[in-house]
């Protein structure tokens, strides 16, 4: 499964770069093992993995990030995805069980959602996809609530003062190419 994920992330690397994101792999295998693995992928598929894979032989990093579940194994990592912003803050953690591969389109969607939410000071509704409306922050005063209700009635852009929408600024749809 890891091999299919490495190939999928490699194919999607430019899509992450377009979103100003850098991929980084972490594995408890040795550097020599990584080199042999990446070379095998290259020989069999022609794909050169364009991002680094860190050898975390003793699991120090994996343990700090909660990637080793002692209930499952003392040495094997679960399949985690961390989105860490440019300030070093972990913004999202996805944890996949060992028998389920990561979903690249969902990771790209979540990354895009975080970036659009930040740019628009907004939240994302369930199943949000790029360029769909975003949720406005709730009003904090009674006057703002009355104004919001007037805007909703005029623009038909929400259900109530606590749930209204706007179109995001700087909307970009970046398609994932399937290979």
Residue extents of the structural domains in the chain: 2-102, 111-166
Please provide the DSSP assignment of 94-132 as one string: EEE-TTS---HHHHHHHHHHHHHHHHHT-B--TT--TTS
What local confidence, expressed as pLDDT, does residue 175 receive?
Answer: 54
What local confidence, expressed as pLDDT, does residue 3 receive?
Answer: 93
CATH for the stretch 111-166: 3.30.1020.10
CA-closest candidate to residue 15, choices 179, 178, 175: 175
Active site residue 2: yes
pTM assigned to the model: 0.87
Q: For residues 140-152, b (16+ Cβ closer than 10 Å) or e, as one string?
A: eeeeeeeebeebb
Q: Would you identify the CATH topology of the domain 2-102? A: Glutaredoxin (3.40.30)
pLDDT tens digits for range 8-55:
999 999 999 999 999 999 988 899 999 999 999 999 999 999 999 999
Q: How confident is the model at residue 98 (pLDDT cuts 50, 70, 90)?
A: confident
- Three-state DSSP class for 165? strand
Cα distances (Å, whole numbers) of residue 93 to 78, 80, 89, 133, 159: 12, 7, 11, 24, 30
| Beta bridge partner(s), residue 27 | 55
What local confidence, expressed as pLDDT, does residue 77 receive?
Answer: 62
pLDDT tens digits for range 120-164:
999 999 999 999 999 999 999 999 999 999 999 999 999 999 999
Q: How confident is the model at residue 177 (pLDDT cuts 50, 70, 90)?
A: very low
Average pLDDT over residues 62-73: 75
What local confidence, expressed as pLDDT, does residue 173 receive?
Answer: 61
Query: Looking at 2, 43, 103, 171, which residue is catalytic?
Result: 2
Q: How confident is the model at residue 1 (pLDDT cuts 50, 70, 90)?
A: low
């Amino acid at each position: 499964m890891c091999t299919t994920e490495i190939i999928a992330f490699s194919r999607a690397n430019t899509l992450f770069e377009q979103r100003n994101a850098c991929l980084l792999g972490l594995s408890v295998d040795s550097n020599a093992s990584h080199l042999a693995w990446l070379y095998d992928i290259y020989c069999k598929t022609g794909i050169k993995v364009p991002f680094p894979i860190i050898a975390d032989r003793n699991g120090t990093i994996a343990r700090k990030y909660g990637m080793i579940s002692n209930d499952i194994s003392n040495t094997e990592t679960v399949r985690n995805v961390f989105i860490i912003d440019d300030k070093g803050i972990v913004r999202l953690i996805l944890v996949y069980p060992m028998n389920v591969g990561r979903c690249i389109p969902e990771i790209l969607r979540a990354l895009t959602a975080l970036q659009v939410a930040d740019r628009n000071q907004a939240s994302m509704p369930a199943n949000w996809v790029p360029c769909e409306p975003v949720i406005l922050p709730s009003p904090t005063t009674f006057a703002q609530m009355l104004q919001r209700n007037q805007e909703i009635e005029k623009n038909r852009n929400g259900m109530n003062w606590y749930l209204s929408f706007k179109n995001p600024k700087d909307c970009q749809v970046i398609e994932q190419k399937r290979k």
